[in-house]
Structures are given as structure tokens and as C-alpha cells.
Structure 1
Amino acid sequence: MSRRGHPTGPTGPVVSRALTLLDTFSTTRRALTLSQLAAAAGVPLSTAHRLVAELVAWGALERAEDGSYHIGLRLWELGALAPRGPGLRERALPFLEDLSQISRENVQLAVREGTEVVFVERIAGSGAVPVLTRVGGRFALTATGVGLVLLAHAPADVQDDVLGGPIASFTEKTVTDPARLRGMLADVRTNGFSISDRQVTLDSLSVGAPVHDQRGQVVAAVSLVVRYGSVSPHAVVPLVRTSARAISRALAEPY
């Protein structure tokens, strides 16, 4: 099984090729021609034509007037059923909005998928510092406030995998030393919050806190991203932790 869970076995080749075609799309490649899809997926044009036709018929892809293809609404409809995506977002949104209104800063909600962060929601504050994240986007676990929280509470094998491989660097302040990162993760578990100081951009820092489910497992993280120098990170820790606890209580209630 591949990193994104593409299946193997009797139906593996067909399903894998279809998923590979879908995986070709990104924020910078929102519309692709049939030839581009075939080349990116590494399949013959005839195969891509057949698979794309099936995906269009099902609703996973849509064809534009200029002949290019883009992701279809059917995938969005299915994605809305994911409990760790929109379901989590629906429970958390009132508290994220409260945090945004109080702070007027960037508020983020994220989950871990494998060795990456996936952002479920982001609310941009008025006049807040620009951020590199987007809803549905992925990012390194080691650099962001939410990522440090999720990595700190990830299984040991995930931590070993992340810290044992190449660690992405975004600024001169990005921590890439595995030993130092392990110390930071231990502090997150002890203190109940994380601080990412100028690790993603030099003009911002973020404070993150864990969100627990009814079993006490960390299933998400919430963070506040502020402009560096505008406020002490420890001054916003209580706000972030309060929001995280409120979301945790909401997740424990019957759906």
C-alpha cells in the first residue's frame, strides 16, 4: 500500500491508476488536459481517456468548455462525510469563530494524516499576518504549532519516521535537529501546548493545543498564528487551550 493508501491486489492496477489521475491535481494544477493527466500518471493516452471518462461519469471529474478537467463535486460530497474533516470542523467551528473574534488573529484546526498535517479549517483575522496554509492543504509536522502538538502525541513509530528522515526547513529559525525536536515534543506533552517561533515564516509564530476525543485521545490540534513581536506567545496560551478544551467537550457529546 502506498503512502496515500492506494490499493493493491486484483483490482489494484485499475483503482491505483484512477487514484493516481486524481492525485495529479493540486493547488497549482487545478485544471489539466487529458494529455497532461496521462503524462503525470504515467499511463497511455488511451488508458487515461477510458479512466477519465469513467471518473467524469461518476462525478469525480468535470470537463470544462475548453476541454480540460477539474475535480468534481462528487468528491467534495464524499469528503464531507469524513469524521476527521468536515464532521470535526462542524463541531469545532463555533469555538474557532469565538477565538478568531476575540483575538482577530489567524485560527487553524488540523489533524494528522501519516507523517503530515492536514488543515481542516482556517479563519483569517482582520489584518492578521499572512500564512502559508490552506484548508485541505498539507504541511510538515515539525514546523507548525498544530504539527508539533500532533507529532508530540503521535505513536512512537510515527515520531521515529518523521525525525529519522529529512526534516524540512522553511526559515533560519526552523528546528531541524532531531534531538532538539524530541525535547520540544516532550515539553508539549508536559505543558499541554506548543510554540512554533518563526519556524514557518520569520514574521509569525503560532501557539497550538491538543483536541481530545471522548476516549482522551488527541485527534486534532487548534492554533493561533500571530505576528512575531505583537504579543508574547504565553499571553495567548490560555485562549488557545480554552478553545481546544471546548472543542474536546463538543466532540464528547452525542452527534
Structure 2
Amino acid sequence: MTDSVPGESVISRVVRLMSAFDRSLPTMTLSGLARRAGLPLTTTHRLVQELVRHGLIEKVSGDELRVGMRMWELGARGSLALGLQEVALPYMEDVQATVRQHTTLAILDRGSVLYVERLSDPESPLDAAHIAQRMPIHAASSGLVLLAYSDTAYQDEVLSLPLEAVTTDTITDPSIIRKHLADIRQRGHVAIPGIGHMDWIGIAVPVFGIAGKIAASLNAIVPRGEANVPAIIPSLLTAAHGISRTLGADNRLPGSRRL
């Protein structure tokens, strides 16, 4: 059964196909791709032929298909995420030397948190915040930091939507979230355990760009029972200030007095 929409554009159908691939299912057969994308098999076959010809989808062993390297190449050209990665990585390495778990960089994109870089200790017991993974804004410390420094109209828009619980500790009451946002703006950081995953705590600080606009969130993700938050925050703030300065932000950043 398909859920294709009559009159749906070719581009919309291509986006469906490409969005069907993810970390949990990086390869699939043509019929599996059609089912997952909710498109007729004949439509999927026709579009996949074109996508393979352009290198956006690749054929692997047997009848399996996967996202092609051409897609990565096109996505990397002039990408905001790539520019942020290049600037942030040296500073993230300094944080990771202290954290020794996960250090991540996240941005807001299309109404959710998108992780664009991650450094991880191979011995970490956590499997958290992979590159290109998304999280609901209200269910991640990084999302709350990004929202705290966004304009009030965007905050109102996000908090007017249904806020689903990801864990039993996820905050879904808009009034409580607003209190956290005010606290973040005053303190310059946030550390709330269990809102995205019961086993970890995310510690997040803002990264600013030109004109002091929020550009990203720098985050440490550590086991909930082992988190030494006071020891981690200074490292995050120092790194975030360095990234912000490199991006062209004013030296008088929110929270800079706490460095």
C-alpha cells in the first residue's frame, strides 16, 4: 500500500525516496524502498533508474541500493554545516579531551535540532547524537539553548505545537520550558538530565555568529550518573567563545563574562 499524493511533484517523490534511507537502514531493495517511501513500485523503479544514473543512489551487492557519494558531494558544497564543522573542530577537540564521552555541534533546521558534528570516545557506553541525526527542539539540551537565543516569535511558534515526550523526563509544558529559556539566557548554559534519553545528560552552550545571532549549540553528552557538570561547563564556554569569535561574533557575547 502506498500513500503517494495525487499531483505530487517529482521532486517531492525524490525527497521521499532519499529520506527513506537512514542510519538504521542504510541499504534496501527496490521493493523495500518503495514500501518505506510510500510510493508505487513502478514509480520507484523509474525514479531510481534516474537517480542511479546521476550517482545519487548506488547499487551495492545483490539487489541492494544505498545513497550515492554524489549526494554527499553535492551536499558538502557550500554547506553551512561544513563551514561550522571546519571552524568548530579544533575547539571541540579541546572539549572532548575533558569530557571523554561525546562532544557535539548542533543547529536548528526545519523545526528540529540537527547534529552536524560529533566527537566520541570509542569506549563510551552511550550511543548518542550521531551526525545528521535529528531531535525535537524541546527534547534536547542543545535544542533548548538554540531556542533560548532565537527570536520570541520563533519561540512562540515552537511552543504552540504539540510537544511529545521522548522520555518520562521530557519537558512538555510550555510554561516550564519558557522558565528554562529565561534561565539559559541568564546563565549562558543548560544541563538537564534525561529529556532526550534517560541514560544521559546533555550540557549545552550557545555559539553565536555575525551580529550576535545564534548559530549553533556546542554540547557535551555524558552518562547521567557520572556527570561532573561544574567541571565541564567552563570548557564548553571557552570553546564556544572561540568558535563564535572565529565566526565573526562580537566579543561581548551573552555569557562571555562567565568565561
- TM-score category by the smaller chain? 0.7 to 0.9
User: Residue 225 in 1 paired to residue 221 in 2?
Assistant: yes
Q: How far apart, CA to CA, are the structure 1 residues paired with 2:247 and 2:182? A: 26
Report if the CA contact (8 A) 2:106-2:117 is conserved: yes
Q: Match for residue 140 of structure 1?
A: 136
CA contact (8 A) 2:56 2:71 kept: yes
- Report what 2:39 is aligned to: 43
Asked if structure 1 preserves the Cα contact closer than 8 Å seen for 2:141 and 2:190, the reply is yes
Q: What is the one-letter code of the residue matched to 2:101?
A: E
Aligned residue in 1 for 2:231: 235
CA RMSD across the alignment: 2.1
TM-score by length of 1: 0.87
SS at match of 2:210: coil
Q: Which runs of 5+ in 1 are unaligned?
A: 1-9
User: Percent same amino acid at aligned positions?
Assistant: 35
What residue in structure 1 maps to residue 25 of structure 2?
Answer: 29
Give the drift of 1:231.
4.2
Per the TM alignment, residue 30 of structure 1 is displaced from its structure 2 partner at its CA by 1.3
Partner of 2:10: 14
**CA positional deviation for 1:104:** 1.8
* Structure 2 gap segments, 5+ residues each: 1-6, 250-259
TM-aligned CA distance change 1:126 to 1:42, over 3 Å: closer
SS in 1 for 2:138: coil
The CA deviation string for residues 182-226 of structure 1, in whole angstroms up to 9 with x for no partner, is 110111122211122222233321211111112211110101122
Q: How does 1:184-195 map to 2 (within 5 A)?
A: 184-195=180-191
Contact 1:223 1:240 in 2 (8 A): yes
Corresponding pairs, count: 243
2: CA distance, partners of 1:124 / 1:59: 31
Match of 1:152 in 2: 148
- 2:101 aligned with 1:105, yes or no? yes
Residue by residue over 1:79-124, the C-alpha shift from the partner in whole angstroms, topping out at 9 and shown as x without a partner, is: 2224321221011001101111133232110011022110011111
Amino acid of the structure 2 residue aligned with 1:24: A
Distance 1:217 1:228 in 2: 31
Tell me the TM-score normalized by structure 2: 0.86
Kept in 2, the 8 Å contact 1:129–1:226? The answer is no
